[in-house]
C-alpha cells in the first residue's frame, strides 16, 4: 500500500519477519527468486540494528581451515587453526602448506611495532599565515586536544598528532590507541570533539571530519610509512632441507623470486605493496572474523623479505597498516564470533588490547604462510599446476 518505507519494516516487525517481507517485495519487484539468500543461520536482531540496513538475508561464503600454525608472539603464543572464508580454489591449500613449513620450523615469530587508529580532519585557513597559526596551536596544546577527544570514550587514548598543510588546507592526523576494537567509530567521534576545540581556539573552519590523510580504505603511502591500525611483522627461519622437502626448491631460488617479483616487479609497477598475495589471506581472515573487508586495502600494503643465511633463509612479512579488532563491527555476528573463538581472541582481552594485538600477530603469521607457499610454488614452477588441480 506504500504506507511504510522499505527501511522502516524493523520498526513494525521482528527482524527475521522484516527481512522476509522485504525479500518478498524485492522478489516481486525484480522477478528474481531469493530462496538461498533467505536461508541463513545467524540471528539477525543484532545484524539488522548494527551491521546491515534493509536486510533481506545473507550471503554464505565457504570457510576452510588451515593449520595448525605455531606462532611465538608477545600476545599470540601457541598453535592455531586459521578460519579462511574464500571462494578461490587453492587458497586454503596454499596457506596450509605454508603453515606446515612454519610449524615444522618451530613456529613464526611475531611482534607489534605500532598500534594506532587514525582520523584526519581537514580545516580551511584564511591564508598561509593563519594555517601556520592553526598548526602552532595544535603543536603546543596536545594535552587539551587529548582531553577533548578522550572525553567521548572510556577506551580510546590519543597517542599522537601530526599536522600537514597544503596552501590553506590544514590536515590534523590524530592517532588513537583503541584497545581491542578496530576503532574507526571511536576515533571518528573523538576526532569530532577535538576538531571543535581547534575551531574554537584558532578560528579555523572545519571542512570535513575525514580529509583523506587518515587514510581510510584507500591505498596510501602515508599508511605504509606511518602505519595505521596495528603495525605488525612475522618471520621464520627455514633450513635448506625444509625448503627442499616442503617447497621442492631451494633458499637461493626463494630469495631471487622474492627479489625479482615482490621487490623489483612491484617497484617497476609502481605498487604500494611489495608482496605476493597478502591481500588473499587478509581478506579470507577478515571475512571469516567479522572485520571490515574494505580495510584489506590497507592490509595489503605488506612487504615480504627473504634473507639468505647460513643453512637456509629467514623469511618475513611486515604489515605496516592492519586495521583489525576483536570487538565491535561484524565481530559480534554469530558465525564470525565462532571463528574468533577458534583463534582464542573473541571479545575484549585482559588486559584491554591484548586480544586485538594477538589477532594481529596471528594474521601476520598467516600472511607469512601464504607468502612462503606462493614463493615456493613460483620457484618450483608449480603455480599453474596447482590452480589447474584445485582452482579451475
> Which pLDDT value is given to residue 283?
98
CATH of residue 163's domain is: 3.30.70.420
Buried-exposed string 241-272: b where 16+ CB fall within 10 A, e elsewhere: ebbeebbebbbebbbebbeebbbeebeeeeeb
Return the number of other C-beta atoms located less than 10 Å from residue 196's C-beta: 13
Residue 226 lies in a domain: no
> Which pLDDT value is given to residue 381?
83
> Which pLDDT value is given to residue 383?
60
Residue 73 lies in a domain: yes
> Which pLDDT value is given to residue 121?
98
Residue 218 lies in a domain: no
How far apart are alpha carbons 175 and 193 in whole angstroms?
Answer: 14
Q: Pick the catalytic residue: 88, 150, 250, 256?
A: 88
Evaluate whether 315 touches 233 at the Cβ level (below 8 Å).
Answer: no
Return the number of other C-beta atoms located less than 10 Å from residue 52's C-beta: 15
What pTM value is reported for the model? 0.94
Residue 129 lies in a domain: yes
Are residues 259 and 386 both part of a single domain?
yes
Are residues 197 and 239 both part of a single domain?
no
138: part of which helix (H) or strand (E)?
Answer: helix 128-140
Buried-exposed string 25-40: b where 16+ CB fall within 10 A, e elsewhere: ebbeeeeeeeeebbeb
Are residues 345 and 330 both part of a single domain?
yes
Q: Minimal CA–CA distance to 145: which of 172, 183, 109?
A: 172
Q: Among this protein's residues, is 11 annotated catalytic? A: no
Return the number of other C-beta atoms located less than 10 Å from residue 140's C-beta: 9
Are residues 165 and 285 both part of a single domain?
no
* Residues whose CB is less than 8 angstroms from the CB of residue 202 and which lie 6 or more positions away in sequence, other chains included: 123, 130, 133, 134, 137
Instruction: Choose the final residue of a domain: 173, 208, 243.
Output: 208
Place of cell 596510501: 220
Domain limits at 280?
A: 63-114+231-390
Residue 214 lies in a domain: no
Residues of the chain with pLDDT below 50 are: none
| CA 345 vs CA 82, 123, 152, 355: distances in Å | 12, 39, 26, 5
Q: Pick the catalytic residue: 292, 307, 338, 382?
A: 292
Are residues 328 and 372 both part of a single domain?
yes
Are residues 240 and 351 both part of a single domain?
yes
> Which pLDDT value is given to residue 387?
53
Burial (CB count <10 Å: 0-12, 13-18, 19+), residue 147: middle
Q: Pick the catalytic residue: 72, 141, 382, 387?
A: 387
Query: Which cell numbers hold the place of 317?
Result: 612479512
> Which pLDDT value is given to residue 389?
61
Residue 4 lies in a domain: no
Residue range 174-202, pLDDT digits in tens: 999 999 999 999 999 999 999 999 999 99
Overall domain count for the chain: 3
Amino acid at each position: 500500500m506504500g504506507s511504510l518505507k522499505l527501511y522502516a519494516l524493523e520498526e513494525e516487525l521482528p527482524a527475521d519477519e522484516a527481512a522476509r517481507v522485504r525479500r518478498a517485495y524485492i522478489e516481486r519487484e525484480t522477478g528474481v527468486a531469493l530462496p538461498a539468500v533467505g536461508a541463513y543461520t545467524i540471528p539477525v536482531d543484532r545484524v539488522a540494528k548494527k551491521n546491515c540496513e534493509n536486510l533481506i538475508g545473507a550471503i554464505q561464503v565457504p570457510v576452510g581451515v588451515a593449520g595448525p600454525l605455531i606462532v611465538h608472539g608477545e600476545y599470540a603464543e601457541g598453535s592455531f587453526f586459521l578460519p579462511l572464508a574464500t571462494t578461490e580454489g587453492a587458497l586454503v591449500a596454499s596457506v596450509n602448506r605454508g603453515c606446515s613449513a612454519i610449524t615444522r620450523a618451530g613456529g613464526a615469530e611475531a611482534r607489534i611495532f605500532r598500534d594506532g587508529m587514525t582520523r584526519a580532519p581537514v580545516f580551511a585557513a584564511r591564508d598561509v599565515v593563519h594555517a601556520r597559526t592553526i598548526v602552532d596551536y595544535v603543536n603546543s596544546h596536545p594535552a587539551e586536544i587529548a582531553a577533548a577527544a578522550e572525553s567521548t570514550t572510556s577506551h580510546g587514548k590519543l597517542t599522537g598528532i601530526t599536522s600537514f598543510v597544503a596552501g590553506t588546507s590544514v590536515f590534523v592526523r590524530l592517532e588513537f590507541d583503541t584497545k581491542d576494537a578496530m576503532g574507526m567509530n571511536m576515533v571518528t567521534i573523538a576526532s569530532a570533539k577535538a576538531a571543535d576545540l581547534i575551531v574554537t581556539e584558532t578560528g579555523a573552519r572545519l571542512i570535513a571530519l575525514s580529509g583523506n590523510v587518515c587514510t581510510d580504505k584507500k591505498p596510501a603511502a602515508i599508511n605504509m610509512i606511518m602505519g595505521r591500525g596495528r603495525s605488525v611483522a612475522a618471520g621464520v627461519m627455514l633450513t635448506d632441507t625444509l625448503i627442499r622437502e616442503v617447497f621442492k626448491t631451494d633458499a637461493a631460488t626463494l630469495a631471487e623470486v622474492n627479489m625479482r617479483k615482490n621487490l623489483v616487479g612491484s617497484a617497476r609497477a609502481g605498487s604500494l605493496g611489495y608482496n605476493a598475495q597478502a591481500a588473499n589471506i587478509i581478506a579470507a581472515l577478515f571475512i571469516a572474523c567479522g572485520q571490515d573487508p574494505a580495510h584489506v586495502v590497507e592490509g595489503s600494503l605488506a612487504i615480504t623479505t627473504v634473507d639468505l643465511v647460513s643453512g637456509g633463509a629467514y623469511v618475513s612479512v611486515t604489515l605496516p597498516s592492519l586495521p583489525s579488532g576483536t570487538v565491535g563491527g561484524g565481530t559480534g555476528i554469530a558465525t564470525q564470533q565462532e571463528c574468533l573463538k577458534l583463534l582464542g581472541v573473541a571479545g575484549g582481552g585482559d588486559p584491554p588490547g591484548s586480544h586485538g594485538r594477538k589477532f594481529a600477530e596471528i594474521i601476520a603469521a598467516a600472511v607469512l604462510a601464504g607468502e612462503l607457499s606462493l614463493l615456493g610454488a613460483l620457484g618450483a614452477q608449480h603455480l599453474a599446476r596447482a590452480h589447474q588441480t584445485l582452482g579451475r
